[in-house]
């Protein structure tokens, strides 16, 4: 048993071994994440106020930083069973190609049509909306993964789904749009003239490619101006991290089966939901003083919230209508350069991860996109899976850590989150294959200019 047992290429859990509860890492944090603030009053958002934007059950989850476990409703569990448990893969081929003594594992979340982990929270959010008797939900999508996931969840439950898609992605990824429409969603390029805030942004920046922050503003306005609609968000929020904890719980259960303990856990970080979900149960052990791990958040050099941003209250959206969150941020007016990892272009970061990072419980690093695509290509050629550009940020750092082990001869166990597949990112791969990809990095002045516009509550 244990150490001597041979590890298979893929560790699958049985259906009956799947987690039946989500884990809320905030319950074990001594320093709780700072509360969301009402942008009008500067006071913490109450349940009543939050319930105007989110479904009541989700608003409750958002505010709850003491309950450690939440039962996963049966209907959600049944939906999960269509594409979960997700495999935990031992990257034997990659290890061999690198010639590293490190043992590399990845949790693969791309095994569903939406192609990413986002479906884990989409079904939860759609479920609570349906349960509350709502007609539909509105949302934004950047690269398109979240919009696709939400449209799948809404189709399953019979809810209307209205998606505001960042304009540059809408144009670059027409097939994503068609997948969403196939699942019954309506898709609008953002900024649009459908909303007041969209018209305002268009007047100020007529040539804008759009941004996630801007699409969020439009989706929130659409939700609050239509009867029976609520807004749902695919990342950043504490409720999303809670739902995504299913990733980490499954991973830990699979590793425990073979007595494997990771030394380093790596994830890409856009708004922080996959990373937060992957590390949650491990971080819980660290917070309770039971075990120690190294956690590494990987962000794009073009949108480096952790590594070059500021820990401060900021708007979650460009239009400044959402609650204020305390987070590592580039400033809500920051317009990231058109990099190819659309899902990592958000200006802020989960408040939960921001607090953990500020407390020195996790690390962060940023990587440039050509280096990311080199890692993606190397990975695809030996492990077979065509990774999403977002996920490839984690691959980059996992390979770098494995190569350090090669130098030192250490056989560390490295775990990373492979959040999704890259079939809709062929435009980016084309740029890379043609040698035409560039690395956009904001200057200190760019960042300072956007941070100068942080709200005055700080």
Ligand X SMILES: *Cc1c(COP(=O)(O)O)cnc(C)c1O
- Please report, as ranges, the residues that interact with ligand X according to CB under 6 A: 116, 118, 143, 145, 235, 268-275, 343-344, 388, 390-391, 419-420
Nearest of 207, 202, 171 to residue 188 by alpha carbon: 171
What is the dihedral angle through the alpha carbons of 23, 389, 89, 263, rounded to the nearest 10 degrees?
Answer: -60
> At closest approach, how far in Å is the CB of 235 from ligand X?
3
> At closest approach, how far in Å is the CB of 73 from ligand X?
22
Distance (Å, whole) CA 172 – CA 175: 9
> At closest approach, how far in Å is the CB of 385 from ligand X?
12
Instruction: Answer yes or no: are the C-beta atoms of 359 and 395 closer than 8 Å.
Output: no
Question: Residues with Cβ < 8 Å from 286, sequence gap 6 or more?
Answer: 292, 293, 361
Question: Residues with Cβ < 8 Å from 3, sequence gap 6 or more?
Answer: 259
Cβ-based nearer residue to ligand X, 212 or 260: 212
Number of helices (H) and strands (E) in the chain: give both, helices first.
Answer: 18, 15
What does DSSP say about strands 88-90 and 10-11: parallel, antiparallel, or unpaired? antiparallel
Q: Coil, strand or helix: which one is 140?
A: strand
Query: What are the C-alpha distances in Å from 327 to residues 36, 49, 311?
Result: 10, 21, 5
Cβ-based nearer residue to ligand X, 95 or 425: 425
Structure tokens at 63: 């505010």
> At closest approach, how far in Å is the CB of 243 from ligand X?
11
Cβ-based nearer residue to ligand X, 61 or 273: 273
Cβ-based nearer residue to ligand X, 260 or 303: 303
Cβ-based nearer residue to ligand X, 104 or 341: 341
Could you tell me where the beta strands, DSSP code E, fall in 213-281? Answer: 229-231, 264-268
> At closest approach, how far in Å is the CB of 278 from ligand X?
9
> At closest approach, how far in Å is the CB of 120 from ligand X?
10
Question: Residues with Cβ < 8 Å from 419, sequence gap 6 or more?
Answer: 109, 110, 116, 117, 267, 268, 274, 343, 388, 390, 391, 394
Cβ-based nearer residue to ligand X, 100 or 190: 190
Nearest of 399, 397, 395 to residue 420 by alpha carbon: 395
Q: Coil, strand or helix: which one is 255?
A: helix
Distance (Å, whole) CA 381 – CA 228: 48
> At closest approach, how far in Å is the CB of 426 from ligand X?
15
Structure tokens at 304: 């480096």
Cβ-based nearer residue to ligand X, 119 or 405: 119
Cβ-based nearer residue to ligand X, 117 or 167: 117
Distance (Å, whole) CA 277 – CA 322: 23
> At closest approach, how far in Å is the CB of 33 from ligand X?
15
Cβ-based nearer residue to ligand X, 260 or 267: 267
Would you say how long the chain is, in residues? Answer: 458
> At closest approach, how far in Å is the CB of 15 from ligand X?
25
Question: Residues with Cβ < 8 Å from 99, sequence gap 6 or more?
Answer: 406
Instruction: Answer yes or no: are the C-beta atoms of 240 and 121 closer than 8 Å.
Output: yes
> At closest approach, how far in Å is the CB of 422 from ligand X?
8
> At closest approach, how far in Å is the CB of 234 from ligand X?
7
Cβ-based nearer residue to ligand X, 273 or 369: 273
Cβ-based nearer residue to ligand X, 309 or 405: 309
> At closest approach, how far in Å is the CB of 251 from ligand X?
15
Cβ-based nearer residue to ligand X, 242 or 268: 268
Instruction: Answer yes or no: are the C-beta atoms of 221 and 319 closer than 8 Å.
Output: yes
Q: In 258-388, which residue ranges form alpha helices assigned H by DSSP?
A: 273-287, 305-308, 351-358, 369-383
């Amino acid at each position: 048993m244990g150490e001597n047992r041979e590890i298979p290429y893929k560790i699958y859990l049985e259906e009956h071994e799947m987690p039946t509860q989500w884990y809320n890492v905030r319950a074990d944090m001594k320093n709780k994440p700072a509360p969301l603030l009402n942008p009008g009053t500067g006071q913490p958002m109450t349940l009543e106020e939050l319930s105007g934007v989110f479904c009541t059950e989700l608003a409750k989850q958002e505010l709850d930083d003491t309950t450690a476990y939440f039962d996963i409703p049966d209907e959600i569990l049944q939906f999960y069973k269509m594409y979960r448990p997700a495999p935990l893969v031992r990257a034997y081929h990659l290890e061999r190609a690198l010639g590293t003594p490190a043992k590399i594992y990845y949790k693969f979340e791309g095994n569903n049509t939406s192609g990413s982990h986002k479906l884990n929270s989409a079904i939860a959010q759609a479920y609570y909306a349906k349960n509350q008797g709502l007609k539909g939900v509105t949302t934004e999508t950047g690269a398109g993964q979240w919009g696709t996931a939400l449209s799948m969840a809404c189709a399953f439950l019979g809810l209307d789904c209205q998606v505001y898609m960042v304009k540059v992605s809408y144009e670059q990824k027409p097939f994503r749009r068609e997948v969403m429409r196939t699942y019954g969603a309506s898709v609008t390029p953002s900024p649009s003239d459908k909303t007041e805030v969209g018209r305002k942004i268009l007047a100020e920046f007529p040539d804008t490619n759009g941004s996630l922050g801007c699409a969020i503003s439009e989706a929130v306005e659409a939700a609050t101006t239509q009867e029976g609609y609520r807004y749902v968000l695919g990342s950043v929020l504490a409720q999303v991290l809670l739902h995504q904890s299913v990733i980490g719980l499954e991973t830990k259960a699979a590793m425990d089966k073979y007595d494997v303990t990771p030394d380093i856990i790596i994830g890409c970080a856009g708004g922080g939901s996959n990373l937060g979900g992957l590390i949650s149960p491990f971080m819980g052990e660290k917070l309770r003083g039971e075990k120690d791990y190294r956690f590494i958040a990987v962000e794009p050099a073009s949108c480096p919230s952790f590594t070059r941003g500021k820990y401060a209250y900021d708007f979650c959206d460009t239009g400044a209508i959402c609650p204020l969150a305390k987070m590592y941020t580039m400033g809500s007016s920051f317009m990231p350069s058109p990099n190819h990892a659309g899902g990592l272009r958000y200006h802020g970061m989960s408040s939960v991860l921001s607090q953990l990072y500020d407390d020195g419980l996790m690390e962060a690093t940023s990587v440039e996109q050509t280096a990311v695509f080199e890692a993606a290509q190397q990975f695809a050629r030996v492990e077979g899976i065509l990774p999403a550009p977002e996920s490839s940020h984690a691959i980059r750092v996992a390979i770098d850590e494995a190569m350090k082990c090669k130098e030192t001869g250490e056989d560390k166990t490295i775990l990373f989150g492979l959040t999704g597949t890259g079939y809709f990112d062929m435009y980016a791969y084309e740029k890379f294959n043609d040698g035409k990809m560039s690395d956009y990095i904001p200057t200190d002045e760019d960042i300072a200019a956007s941070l100068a516009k942080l709200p005055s509550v700080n």
